[in-house]
Amino acid sequence: MTRRLPWGAMARMTGRRALAAVPVLLGVTLAVFAVAEASPFDPVKAYAGTAGLTASQENLDQLRANLGVDRPLLTHWWEWLTSALAGDLGDSAVLRRPVTEVIGERLGWSVLLAATAFAVALALGTLLGVLAGRRRGGLVDRAVSSAAYTLEAAPAFWLGLLAVWFFALKLGVLPAGGLTDTGSDTVTAGQIARHLVLPALVLGLSQLPWFFLYVRQGVGDALEEDPVRGARARGLRERTVLTGHALRSGMLPMLTLVGSRVPELITGALLVETVFSWPGIAAATVTAATSVDFPLLAALTVLATAAVLLGNLLSDLLYGLADPRAGFDG
Amino acid sequence: MADPRTHRLRLWTSAGTIAVLVLAVLLVPPLVQFDEQAVDLSRKLLPPSWDHPFGTDDLGRDLLLRCVHGLRISLLVGLVAALVATVVGTAVGAAAGALGGRPDRWLMRLVDAFSSVPHLLLGIFVVALFRPGVWPVIASVAVTHWLSTARIVRAEVLSLRGRPFVDAAVSGGASRWRVAVRHLLPAVLPQAGLAAVLMVPHAMWHESALSFLGLGLPSHQASLGNLVQNARSSLLAGYWWPTLYPGLLLIVPTLAVAGLAGAWRDRLNPRRRSELTL
């Protein structure tokens, strides 16, 4: 495939989506503030912590004025928005540090985990999908498909805990969680790799059923189509037919839709990072939620929404490229 | 293609599994005169045996009983959440489909906006600000589950609007409200009902994830997610059974409901028999 890419149409679609994302993101931030306003949660008490129990009413009122929580919803939201656009997302109440710093420090680890998990799911899903799609309804297909549906129903946190029990406790071959060995001050690539194996494997397994079922369907359908029959009639080897013809056309729809998996990936990461104490932003989200750290929670919710919109855009762009009939009108 | 016998087998195993689970959560707690919370440290962390088929936990409580109670709570929360989500989704979808035009566009824009926040994250956000309690959990599950029902019902209403019996009612002078209540709503209810049944296992999954993260139900109302969370210290000490069984009880209903739904679809459309056999 050496045709020229339709850069102009793709750029126009990206521009349109960026414009459409603005009201969605504004709406989400406003909703986040409105929900917080309606909730019984009191940021002053949360900020003061246990000191708030003994503090005098005057001190609490002073704190209330300093934090500016008595302002009306829209003012509060607007101030947060303008300073967010200037690069200041406020301070995390539980970590006592700027939110931007927390995100900047943790985002990389989450991306590393998610990318490795995606690679695992893609490789395993393709392999098993071809094996099962070759003869649908056969023994291999029935066994692997049943396993995939069971895996899809299994909660990721439960899989993670069982993996910790088996690999870290029973066999003792892999660390149970964290990023580095306990007592170690330096972060080395070898340690990170060893600590990455289990969380990436579990997150990858939780995403595997979708990849597998898509490849299985694609390969199975492609095997019944004319190009494959033609290839068989020309006497090509079974392997060439499978990998060169069926897999190529069967994998395309799956690859283009990978971007739309971002929400599921975030859901999985929230659970897996918590089980393995992985120092990513998903684990920080759970910490922010348990301690009602509103500035951190709000920023992370908006960030996740932006990631989902970006994933959808990527998916539609790839789809338009793979299938010119779909075009770039959306 | 699986033969009809396999299909019948699948239907009956799924239905039988669901019946056993429902009977267990309905009958066991009132019939078994045994306090599942009673602590007995002399029996702590016993492996599965005839006396305790699922073993005991770190406080010597029988895990089978704890799991049945947990399933009861998880199932109840899942059912209520699915019901709330179905009512909201049907109302929004029917309104969008029946009104059309600008209200339709705005409502669907709202559905899209809700879908662009990852569901578990939205749930976590809601629960974090309103907890503790059962209702925040139910609300947070419902708020993320009504979207697909709204889309299904809207599509169904749109396809119904052009049908002759609706045209006849409109030209007969029926009001908008009457058309909606007498002609559109009864026609979309089966679809919405099927969506609600399929939603229950997913709602249970959501609740257990929230409870596992420590954001769900309070620990005296131990759902299956709470049980997995409470078992973490035992697991790290090498005891696997308090973790294994509650998780299995989350998988089984999901597979059974999926099997039942698959059989139902095959019945409606025998030519497109799904190839899934479990």
With a cut of 90, say whether residue A162 has pLDDT above it.
yes
Closest CA to B134 of B72, B77, B83: B77
Longest C-alpha distance within chain A, in Å? 89
Q: Rounded mean pLDDT of A140-161?
A: 92
User: Where do runs of H (alpha helix) occur along B119-240?
Assistant: 119-130, 134-161, 164-171, 176-178, 185-212, 224-230, 232-236
Q: How far is B188 from chain A (nearest CA, A)?
A: 28
A305/B128 Cβ within 8 A: no
Name the minimum distance, in Å, from the CA of B218 to any CA of chain A.
13
Using CB atoms, which residue from B125, B208, B278 is nearest to A155? Answer: B208
CA distances, A256 to each of A259, B115, B180 (Å): 7, 20, 40
- Give the span between the Cα atoms of B56 and B71, in whole angstroms: 17
| Cα B187 to Cα A14: distance, rounded to the nearest angstrom | 40
Closest CA in chain A for residue B2: A137
Residue B277 has what pLDDT? 41
- The domain defined by B13-31+50-273 folds into MetI-like fold (1.10.3720)
Amino acid at A236: L
Instruction: Report the residue of chain A nearest B278, measured CA to CA.
Output: A146
Each residue's pLDDT expressed in tens, for chain B with a length of 278 residues: 456 777 788 888 889 999 999 888 888 777 776 665 677 777 777 788 887 888 888 777 888 888 988 899 999 999 999 999 999 999 999 889 888 889 899 998 889 888 888 889 999 998 988 877 889 899 999 998 899 899 989 988 888 887 888 888 888 888 877 887 888 888 888 888 888 888 999 999 999 999 999 888 887 788 899 999 988 888 888 888 888 999 999 999 999 998 888 777 777 665 554 444 44
If you count DSSP H runs as helices and E runs as strands, how many of each does chain B have, helices first? 11, 0
CB A228 within 8 A of CB A245: yes
Residue A6, phi then psi, degrees to nearest 5: -80, 70
Q: How many CB atoms neighbour CB A184 within 10 A?
A: 11
Residue range A259-292, pLDDT digits in tens: 888 888 999 999 999 999 899 999 999 988 888 8
Contact status of B2 with chain A (Cβ, < 8 Å): yes
Q: Could you write out the DSSP letters of every residue in B133-165?
A: SHHHHHHHHHHHHHHHHHHHHHHHHHHHHTSHH
In Å, how far is A158's CA from the nearest CA of chain B?
A: 6
CB contact under 8 A, A39 and B213: no
Q: Where are the domains of chain B?
A: 13-31+50-273
Inspect the interface and report whether the beta carbons of B116 and A297 lie closer than 8 Å. Answer: no
Minimal Cβ distance to B247: which of A154, A285, A301: A154
Q: Residue B275 is nearest to which of A137, A150, A164, comparing CB atoms?
A: A137
Q: Do A35 and B201 touch (CB under 8 A)?
A: no
The Cβ of residue A196 has, within 10 Å, a number of other Cβ atoms equal to 20
- Chain B residues inside the 8 Å CB shell of A137: 1-2, 275
Alpha carbon of A159: minimum distance to chain B alpha carbons (Å): 9
pLDDT, residue B276, reads 46
Strand A97-98 with A91-92, pairing: antiparallel
Please identify which residue in the block is written with the tokens 């229950």. Answer: B200
CA nearest to B129, candidates A286, A292, A28, A43: A292
Q: A121: closest CA among A197, A210, A193, A194?
A: A210
Distance CA A32, CA B38 (A): 42
pLDDT on residue A82: 86
- Residue A302 distance to chain B (closest CA, Å): 8
Integer Cα distance of A176 and A165 in angstroms? 8
CA distance A158 to B246: 9
How far is residue A302's CA from residue A1's CA, in Å, rounded to a whole number? 38
A77 Cβ partners below 8 Å, 6+ apart? A29, A30, A33
A-chain CB neighbours of B118 within 8 Å are 262-264, 266-267, 304, 308
Is A288:A90 a contact under the CB 8 Å cutoff?
no
Task: Note whether A137 contacts B2, CB cutoff 8 Å.
Answer: yes
For A266, the closest of B121, B228, B246 (CB atoms) is B121
Q: Contact, A218 vs A135, CB < 8 A?
A: no
Stated pTM of the model:
0.86
Specify the pLDDT at position A60.
74
Average pLDDT (A28-53) is 75
Chain B positions touching A289 (Cβ under 8 A) are 124-125, 127-128, 213, 215
CA atoms within 13 A on the CB side of B250: 31
Task: Enumerate residues 87 to 146 of chain B having a beta carbon within 8 A of any beta carbon in chain A.
Answer: 112-113, 116-122, 124-130
Chain B CB within 8 Å of residue A213 CB: no
**Across the interface, do B124 and A36 touch by the CB < 8 Å criterion?**
no
User: How many contacts, defined by CB atoms under 8 Å, are there between A and B?
Assistant: 137
Residue of A24, A164, A263 with shortest CB distance to B119: A263
A316 neighbourhood in chain B, CB within 8 Å: none
Q: What is the mean pLDDT of residues A45-67?
A: 69
B128:A145 CB<8 A:
no
The pLDDT of A122-151, averaged and rounded, is 90
The predicted pLDDT at position A51 comes to: 64
Out of B1, B212, B275, name the one closest to residue A157 (CB).
B212
For B:252-271, CB contacts with A below 8 A are: 254-255, 258
ipTM above 0.90? Answer: no
Mean pLDDT value of segment A64-70: 67
- The reply to whether residue A161 touches residue B232, judged by beta carbons under 8 angstroms, is yes
| Cis, peptide link before residue B253, omega less than 30° from 0 | no
B240 and A162 within 8 Å at the Cβ level: the answer is: yes
Residues of B in contact with A153 (CB under 8 A): 201, 250-251, 254-255, 258
Q: What pLDDT was estimated at residue B268?
A: 66
pLDDT reported for residue A109: 92
Residues of B in Cβ contact (< 8 Å) with A164: 235-236
What is the Cα–Cα distance from A247 to B126, expressed in whole angstroms?
43
Look at residue A192 in the predicted model and tell me its pLDDT. Answer: 85
Q: How far is A156 from chain B (nearest CA, A)?
A: 9
DSSP string, A269-328: HHHHHHHTT--SHHHHHHHHHHTT-HHHHHHHHHHHHHHHHHHHHHHHHHHHHH-TTTTT
Chain B CB contacts of A150 under 8 Å are 251, 255, 278
Q: Does A20 touch chain B (CB under 8 A)?
A: no
User: Which of the residue ranges A22-31, A51-60, A318-327 would you say has the lowest mean pLDDT?
Assistant: A51-60
Q: Could you count the other beta carbons within 10 Å of the beta carbon of residue B231?
A: 25
